[in-house]
Chain A
Amino acid sequence: MPTIDRRTFLKLMGLSAAAGSTGLLTACNNSYAANIADDFYDLPMKGNVRILHTTDFHGQLQPVYFREPNVNLGVGDAFGRPPHLVGNKLLEAMNLKSNTPESYAYTYLDFENAAAKYGKMGGFPQMKTLLDRLRKQAGGQQNTLTLDGGDLWQGSGTSLWTRGVDMVEGSNILGIDVMVGHWEFTYREDEVLSNVALFKGDFIGQNVRVKEDSLMDDGYMKLVETFDGSGLYDEDSGHAFQPYVIKEINGAKICIIGQAFPRTGNANPPEFFPDWSFGLREDDMIELVEMIREEEKPDAIVLLSHNGMDVDIKMAERVPGLNAVFGGHTHDGVPEPIKVENIDGNECWVTNAGSNGKFLGVMDFDIQDGKIKSMHYNMMPIIADVLPADKEMQAFIDQMRSTKYDENIIESRSKKLFYNKSRVGKSYAEILDEKLAIADRLLYRRGNFMGTWDQILCNALREEYDADIAMSAGVRWGTTTLKGDWITMEDVMTQCALTYGETYVSEMTGHDLLRILEQVADNLFDPDPYLQSGGDMVRVGGMDYTIDPSKPLYERITNARLDNGHLIEAKQTYKIAGWAQVNRTPDGRLMWDVVRDHIVKNRGKDNVLKIAKINHPKLVGVSDNPGIADYPGEVG
């Protein structure tokens, strides 16, 4: 870490003076702060109700690097509409300048240099410090409401080994008042209900329903009784959790409706939630808002959503009565809210607060006589080294990470892989700090197509199984490793940590393989957002292909070829490796062990892991799309 120069020192003094008697920023001692204006984190309250919004932390308690995408294509109505703008196009649309903390936070531009200049982002201790500061500037925590949009409990080694408990405890210290879920449901139902019980806020969701069969089932009733009725909020409607909550904030009555990820049942293994059903449930949402307007008469109704931004925009148009949407899922850091006119002619503000703890969304309402007089929105990028760590949060994290991995750990669906003997007796920190190799380039995942981190994952699978082709899910979590930095086990876990990480190899015909790719592409590029499933295109290693996102199902993908140039033949059989199966539990080793061993085995004498080739698909029909820039593959 660089030493502090005089200019930095003066800046820091300025910052601590600005923090005044709170002493919030006095612990700051890093030179990155020199690049941030003194008043960067000052946000006086504009109105009487402040809503603070975080989303998609994905288990990241500590600061991380996270490179935003250079490919985030919008199709149909979403063409060129935020969040489907990347790089300079996004900066222009949002009136932001390049070479600023904002361009570092919101774009991939000049990422290596910007990362060196501003350092890591996010972190619970830093987020806690900023939350407290903004609560204070709102006149106290009682004038604020802190919402989290879900995907909080999954995405790191420690969240997997504690089954989400580390994140629940952390979010209690943060002071999250209300949350919704998606990956939260990828623990067993009893673990989810236990975590909900531990969570001090409200876990809500209008679209999480107990299946009809389960309502008749003694087993589910026993489970619910174990948790004092949690998991069965309303037996008549089948709501597993409260669909909404009402909060009195500074004299105003605010209703928060919850929307879990509608496609949870398609996107994740149903075996984790045999008794629950999800879905968009727009009709129910319309009826619910009507009922709340009539019976509860709130001053504002906001939707805390895990729909994803395109779905949120469509829902805000079609569901009358919503004043604002606090969205997540699609990991879009969108600095300005999108104003949507709904079918009744009223306006609704749709926001999305990015991922991995990089951002805090702040919406101030001025509510007078039951009416919203004004709304002001700000997104705050969390530049970790400028915000001193909250001591309580840091102590919690340090203590949690010193926990020893033992035989009670469950990190797989498969009993024989519940825990790994080689990790037993070591602390979480000891396991995660293991240095595996040095990165030969910037390693990242986020983007519609293949990322450099994904290539390592695919290479690892192909090596493990001597497979022709490897497939890896296009999830949007997974952090970034800088070129020249050590790849640690922690990095591997942020790419791989889920509760169904078993790997497999199987024989598949070219026909079946291409049909799978087509269906995944359709889930991403269906012009109707209600028919999309979220996530990015499945990553394919060992094979190149051409894709035209504007084409219909079964016509998007052409010219699929193995790395040796041979065309994929419909009737020929290929050996295909993969992981994270949703409909069965394969018996192969867990993904993070496969990836770790691959990295260690393939590093050079200089410890550098060299990647020979990146399977960037060739993209067709996207050259005028502002959702792509600086694409490293071919664009036709």
Chain B
Amino acid sequence: MNKNRRALLKSTFVAGATGVAISAGLLTPKAVLAAWPKAAFEAKDASAALQASLGSSSTTTSGDIKLKAPDIAENGAVVPVTVTSKITDTESISIIVAENGTPLAATFNLGANTKGFVSTRIKMGKTSDVTAVVKAGGKLYSTTKNVKVTIGGCGG
């Protein structure tokens, strides 16, 4: 077992993963971000959330965004989602859960020359489309995947 690697990852986690910590609810967002986009995160539907956070709700479907999420959530309270954007000059990556009471689950603002890659865990109340929205060059691109949240029990 490589203990050094673990130690490194641990410190990285603490120092570098602030974005992850916010979306997982580990930190109070207001304490981290000066300008907390309250309207966006409290919006009750997907287009209002996009409008409030990204200034537009019109997106173009893109094959250059890879959204990795399970077909069936093991636990709706912590659904792992990974988004990779190959779109040039990706400025931000947002995750929308259409069926959640407040659909905007996370927005990651990326610095210049940052690789378009985020990994987080989101909360899902029920089966829903999950959409990754990438902002690049002032335009919005998206890709969607359905994630089933289902009752437990009854294995074969």
Contact = CB atoms under 8 A, between A and B. Distances in A.
Interface of A: 151, 182-183, 215-216, 221, 224-225, 229, 232, 235-236, 261-268, 270, 277-280, 283, 308, 329-331, 473-477, 516, 519-520, 522-523, 526, 530-531, 533-536, 538, 580-583
Contacts of A538: 153-154
A531 B155 contact: no
A531 B74 contact: no
Given A263-B72, A277-B74, A216 B10 contact: yes
B40 to A, nearest CB: 27
Given A216-B10, A266-B150, A536-B156, 9 more contacts: A183-B155, A216-B9, A229-B1, A267-B152, A270-B74, A279-B70, A280-B70, A531-B72, A583-B152
Given A215-B9, A265-B74, A232 B152 contact: no
A534 B156 contact: yes
25 contacts: A183-B155, A221-B1, A229-B1, A232-B1, A235-B2, A261-B155, A263-B155, A266-B74, A267-B156, A268-B155, A278-B74, A279-B71, A283-B68, A475-B155, A475-B156, A519-B151, A520-B151, A530-B71, A533-B155, A534-B155, A534-B156, A538-B154, A581-B153, A582-B153, A583-B152
Nearest to B70: A279
B10 A523 contact: no
Chain B interface size band reads 20 to 34
B36 interface: no
Given A215-B6, A216-B6, A221-B1, A267 B154 contact: yes
A270 B13 CA distance: 25
For the complex of A and B, the 9 pairs showing the least CB-CB separation, nearest first, are: A267-B155, A265-B74, A519-B151, A534-B156, A535-B154, A582-B152, A476-B156, A535-B156, A473-B154
Nearest to B73: A266
Given A216-B9, A278-B74, A283-B68, A531 B148 contact: yes
B1 to A, nearest CB: 6
With most chain A CB atoms within 10 A of its CB, the pick from B68, B152, B156 is B156
Given A215-B9, A229-B1, A266-B150, A279 B74 contact: yes
A475 B71 CA distance: 22
Given A229-B1, A279-B70, A531-B148, A265 B75 contact: yes
B156 A519 contact: no
B68 to A, nearest CB: 7
Nearest to B2: A235
B153 A580 contact: yes
A531 B71 contact: yes
B116 to A, nearest CB: 18
Contacts, number: 99
With most chain B CB atoms within 10 A of its CB, the pick from A261, A265, A526, A534 is A265
Contact of B1 (A224, A270, A475, A516): A224
A215 B9 CA distance: 9
Interface in B1-48: 1-2, 5-6, 9-10, 13
A582 B154 CA distance: 9
B75 A270 contact: yes
A331 B10 CA distance: 43
Nearest to A474: B154
Given A235-B2, A235-B5, A235-B6, A266 B68 contact: no
Contacts of B70: 279-280
Contacts of B155: 182-183, 261, 263-264, 267-268, 473, 475, 533-535
A123 B27 CA distance: 56
Contacts of B153: 267, 473, 520, 538, 580-582
Contacts of B9: 215-216
Interface in B67-96: 68, 70-72, 74-75
B141 to A, nearest CB: 21
B72 A266 contact: yes
Nearest to A519: B151
Given A215-B9, A221-B1, A235-B1, A523 B151 contact: yes
B71 A329 contact: no
B147 to A, nearest CB: 10
B156 A329 contact: yes
B114 to A, nearest CB: 21
A368 B151 CA distance: 49
Contacts of B151: 516, 519-520, 523
With most chain A CB atoms within 10 A of its CB, the pick from B9, B75, B153, B154 is B154
A332 to B, nearest CB: 10
